Amino acid sequence: MLFYPIDWLEERSGLVGGIRYFLFRKVPADTNWMQTLGSATLTAFIVQAVTGVILAMFYKPDPRTAYQSIQHITNDVTLGWLVRGMHRWGASVFIILMFLHMGRVFLFGAYKYPRELNWIVGVLLLAMGLGEGFTGYLLPWDQTAYWATVVGININGTAPFLGPFLAQFLRGGAEIGPDTIARFYSIHMLLLPGAIAGLIGLHLYLVVRLGVTSPPWSKEAAGAERAEPEPPSDARRGLLQPGARGGIPR
């Protein structure tokens, strides 16, 4: 009787089975604690998303009102100081965890075949995470935010050939103005979180599909053997190879 709602949901969607498959899938016996950094990064992102949603209910993205709305959040709104602090420090936590996770994947060789695509997706996620930090930094609209963004955009402008155009595109004009803060807000709140969420979905799908690797000191080798040399053109490779574990390589 206790599980009736879960069974109701499972009969009508199959989702419960999917979640069980994700939570109870097989991983190597010698999986290391360092391999939790990816989940930690995801948690940091979720914290950012949730606190960001709350902040967006009070923040006013206009040059005339942005700073006051932040003051309002910090001083007046119930536990506003806490939500703002979580978001601000959570941003640094997110970036640091991403780098640690990337370093762990690299040092474990977990980017090798067949996980190259997952590594590429991870690099895109890193770039977008840094973009979130860059666009979010301007939003408090104080002196630090303003001048750091001026300098950051102008650094972009020093790239050869297209640099000045990229800088003008970011600024929304020849100089930082009211368009800039709205543009950064839209990128920070809508464009990048959507893209990051989508790519995280792909990243997790690939992790589940490809499996978790053992640490480098493990007796079992990580990655998979490549297909036989010189396969015929219609041989099925990589994930397409039927294997003992239903096509999922170790």
Partner 1 sequence: MEPLHGDDKPHLPPPSLWPVGFAIGVACVLVGLIVRPLLIVPIGVAIIIVFGFLWARDATRGFRGAVSEVEPERRPSRRRRRAAAPPAHWGEAGMPEPEPGELERFPRSRFLEGATLGLGGVIGGLVTVPVLGPAIAEAFLHQHRGDLDLGPIANFPLGKFVITTFFTDPAEGAVSRRTAYIRNNGDSTGGPSFTIISNRCAHLGCPVQPNGPVFDSQKKSTTTKSAGEVTLTPTLPAGFGCPCHGGQYDKEGNRTAGPPVRGLDRYDYLIRDGHLVLLKAYSVGHVDGTGANAKIQRYPLTNPGDHVHGIESWLYPLQPPH
Category of 247 on φ-ψ map: left (φ > 0), alpha (ψ -120 to 50) or beta = left
Q: How far is the CB of 142 from partner 1 (least distance, A)?
A: 12
Residues that bind partner 1 (CB under 8 A): 7, 11, 63-64, 147, 150-151, 153-155, 157-158, 160-161, 163-165, 167-169, 171-179
Instruction: Report residue 190 as tokens.
Output: 């809508």
Helix (H) or strand (E) holding 146: helix 143-157
Q: How far is the CB of 75 from partner 1 (least distance, A)?
A: 22
Name which of 232 and 242 has its Cβ closer to partner 1.
232
CA atoms within 13 A on the CB side of 80: 15
Name which of 37 and 167 has its Cβ closer to partner 1.
167
The C-alpha atoms of residue 186 and residue 192 are separated, in whole angstroms, by 9
Name which of 39 and 65 has its Cβ closer to partner 1.
65
Q: How far is CA 116 from CA 88, 105, 224, in A?
A: 32, 11, 12
Q: How far is the CB of 178 from partner 1 (least distance, A)?
A: 6
Name which of 99 and 146 has its Cβ closer to partner 1.
146
Q: How far is CA 37 from CA 17, 98, 229, in A?
A: 26, 8, 36
Name which of 133 and 163 has its Cβ closer to partner 1.
163
Name which of 87 and 171 has its Cβ closer to partner 1.
171
Q: How far is the CB of 122 from partner 1 (least distance, A)?
A: 27
Contacts with 75 (C-beta within 8 Å, 6 or more apart), sequence order: 81
Query: What is the chain's length?
Result: 250
Q: How far is the CB of 157 from partner 1 (least distance, A)?
A: 4
The C-alpha atoms of residue 97 and residue 151 are separated, in whole angstroms, by 26
In the three-class reduction of DSSP (H, G, I as helix; E, B as strand; rest coil), residue 185 is classed as: helix
Q: How far is the CB of 194 from partner 1 (least distance, A)?
A: 14
